[in-house]
Structure formats: structure tokens, C-alpha cells
Amino acid sequence: MNIRRIIGILLLGCTVLLASLFFYGLFFGPLFAYSPIKQGFDELALDRCTIIYPKGTELPPEYKTVDDLMAETEQFHRLQFKKRVQIIVCASNGQHKRFSLGGGHACTAQTGTVIYFRPSIGETTYPPGLSIEGGNIKLLSPSVDGYRKLTDFLKHELSHAILYQNTSLLKALRIKTWLEEGLAVYFGNSDHYYRGEDLKTLAIDQNFFFDLFDDEIEPENIPFEIKHTFRYGFFQGFIVYLIDAYGFDTVIGFVHKYIQAPKEEAVLFKESFGITQQEALDIFRQRLRE
């Protein structure tokens, strides 16, 4: 067998493999949102958003209010949605993971045009209450009765989407967790995460305070069951501190500058608030103590 024939076979094999991956991604994986045929799904077209949901299921009424929620999101963030949003309600948690390539109850693509929701999102409970016995954390029943509101999750994800739509894809990928999650929690679902006395207990009394500006750092030794609800509450707590100390206008002005130049985070922070990030973190820690 000559070399040209070997190369031809290899090229053919690569072509078939790439075509197979593309086909799989388009109909069963992360390209599903762009598939012209969404087999097994129905569609509800609103003025500014399209809801894709499994055939034979009843769409929760909260999804039908997304146009109004988008308007509320624009007013809060002082930005505009530039493109139509597509919300995909997945048929299973496994499908959600294949489509979004992420975890959690919901996930927004950095294009800002696609939001994925798990079907079980309407059955998620509030974080457990806390009891400290002998210096150890004891988790109690959920701090609030009932399930977390779907509308709150929608607002949270729309907060991500409007930031992404107002910057480039590359810059959207660079936005730090503390800012985008802290802002989204503050706007959408503040009561889904630890705040107030519970936040102080975990951050200060239990010494789980951490450097939120470093995405590689997480609170150490915190129980896995509450790590997510503490981290997101911590991010929101910092946003609340900035708003209380400098005003909402200053904070949202920083957000607008930051999403256009995320690599200049430290410089823009100092210009906006007059202190360094480390100084702000120290003040935040002290305020939590008080």
C-alpha cells in the first residue's frame, strides 16, 4: 500500500469522525441549540425569547413571563439585550449536562443567547439551616419551607446572558466568578444562598473567608453539601458591601467597564472604588465581623 493511499484513508477516516461528532453535537450534544430540527421538543415563541421544552410535558407558567423578566433585567443592569434568547428546558439531567457541558441547575452559554435548565429545577430546596455545636457545623432542615422559585432562577441566568451579550465571546469567558455570580444572585435569587448571620457564621466564626478575586481558590474544609450555597452567598455579600459603601451607580458603572476589559480588573476596580481589591476584601471581612 503506497503512502498516498494511506494518507487518503486517514483523511477519509478523520472526515467521517468529524462529521459524526458534528452530527452528534447538533442533535444530541452542545450544538443542539443551533439544530434546525429539535426532535422530541415543542416550541413556545415569545416576543423576545423562544422556549424549547420536551413534547408531552406541561411548561411551567413562569417561562411564559420571560419577556417581562428580560425588561426587568435590562432596567437593573442598565444594558440592553441585543439578540434573541433561547431557553432550553432539558428532558433529563443527563441531557442538560450533554447540552450545556456544565453542572448546576441551569447554565447560560457565553454567547448570551442560550440558557439551559434542568427539568428538576422546580424541585430544589433552600439551603439547610445551621447549628454550631462544639465548633462543628450541624446541618438542619432547609432554612425556608418550600421549593426555590423558578422565576428567581430565570432572573439569575438572564443576568449572565445580558452581560455576555454586551461584550465579546472571548471577554465573556474571562469574566470572574465573583462579579457575574455575585451580581446575578443579588438581582435574581438572593435568598437561595447564605446571607446575614449565616454568612457571618461560616465566613468569620468558622473561618471559611477566602480570596474571592482568585477563581482558583475555594474555602477550605467547608462541608461539600453547603460549599456552593456559601460561595455564591459570599459573592453576593461582597456585592452588597460595594453597593452599601459606594452606591449602585458606582457598582454598575464598574460592571460596564469591566465586561469590556476584564483583563484590567484590578486597575478598573481601583479607579472605580478608590481602593485596591485587597483593601476592599479586608474591609468586607471587618464588616462581616461587625
pLDDT for 224 beyond 60 = yes
Mean pLDDT score of the chain, rounded to an integer?
90
Residue 192: which of 244, 241, 131, 151 has the closest Cα? 151
State pLDDT tens for residues 248-259. 999 999 999 999
Evaluate whether 192 touches 151 at the Cβ level (below 8 Å). Answer: no
Q: Which residue spans of the chain are classified as CATH 3.40.30? A: 30-166
State pLDDT tens for residues 181-199. 999 999 999 999 999 999 9
Q: Quickly count: other Cβ atoms within 10 Å of residue 136's Cβ.
A: 9
CA 35 to each of CA 16, 25, 106, 161: distance values in angstroms, whole numbers, following the listed order? 19, 9, 20, 20
Q: What is the mean pLDDT of residues 165-193?
A: 97
Residue 271 neighbours by CB under 8 Å, 6+ apart:
none
Nearest-Å Rg of the Cα atoms of the chain is 22
**Choice among 51-60, 217-226, 237-246 with the minimum mean pLDDT:** 217-226
Pick 127 or 99 by higher pLDDT: 127
pLDDT of residue 239: 98
Residue 143: which of 185, 189, 181, 195 has the closest Cα? 195
pLDDT for 56 beyond 80 = yes
Evaluate whether 69 touches 151 at the Cβ level (below 8 Å). Answer: yes
Grid cell listed for 63: 417561562
Q: Distance between CA 75 and CA 72 in Å, rounded?
A: 5
pLDDT for 75 beyond 50 = yes
pLDDT band, very low/low/confident/very high, at 122 (cuts 50, 70, 90): confident
State pLDDT tens for residues 133-145. 877 888 888 888 8
- Type of residue numbered 37: I
pLDDT for 18 beyond 70 = no
Q: What is the CATH number of domain 30-166?
A: 3.40.30
pLDDT for 36 beyond 90 = no
Residue 241 φ/ψ, nearest 5 degrees: -60, -45
pLDDT for 13 beyond 60 = no
Q: Which residues pair with 41 in a beta bridge?
A: 54
pLDDT above 90: percentage of residues in the chain:
72
For residue 56, count CB atoms less than 10 angstroms from its CB and return exposed for 0-12, middle for 13-18, buried for 19 or more: exposed
Collapsed DSSP state (helix, strand, coil) of residue 22: helix
